[in-house]
Amino acid sequence: MNGNVTVELTVESRLENVELLTDWINTVLDGCDYPRKIQTKMDVVIDELFSNIVYYAYPDTVGDTTVRLQMPADRSGLTMTFIDSGEEYNPLFFEDPDITLSADDRSLGGLGILIVKSLMDDVRYERRDNQNLLTLYKSTA
C-alpha cells in the first residue's frame, strides 16, 4: 500500500474479541510492510488496553470499541486510537507502580499500562463527546 493509510475496525467490547483485533492489526501491518517487531508490540498493547476497556469502560454492559490505525506514507510510525463510549476511564490518571518493590509490597494494578507506556513512544488520553479516546504512537525508527 502506498500513501497515507487510515483504517478502523469496530468490535463488541468482549474479551473474546482480542484475537479478532490482533489478527486484523497484523494483517493490516503485514500489508503495509511494517516490521514484525512493531506487530508484536501492538499485539501486547491491544491485549492490555482492550481488556481494560472491557473491564472499566463497560463494567456492567457490553458496548463497542473502535480501533483506528493511521500510517504515514513513509511508514515512519504508526498511530493507534482506541475509541469507546463507555464510562469515563483514563488509564493514565494513576501513578505508575513502583516496580522496585516486591509484588507483596506494591499495590495491585497498573503494570499493564506501565508495559504499554514502555512499548510506545507516546500515549495520550482524552474524553470527548462522551467517548474515551486513547491514542498511542510508535515510531518505526
Sketch the domain layout of the chain as residue ranges.
5-139
For range 26-32, the mean pLDDT: 93
- The pTM of the full predicted model, rounded to 2 decimals, is 0.86
pLDDT at 2: 65
The answer to whether 61 and 100 are in contact (CB under 8 A) is: no
pLDDT at 6: 95
Rg, C-alpha atoms of the chain: 15
Query: Is the pLDDT score of 98 beyond 70?
Result: no
The Cα-based distances of 16 to 21, 23, 47, 50, 69 in angstroms read 10, 12, 11, 10, 21
CATH architecture of 5-139: 2-Layer Sandwich (3.30)
pLDDT at 110: 47
- Pick the closest to residue 130 from 90, 72, 84 (CA basis): 84
Percentage of the chain beyond pLDDT 90 is 70
Per-residue pLDDT of 45-90, as tens digits, reads 999 899 989 988 999 999 999 999 999 999 999 999 999 999 998 8
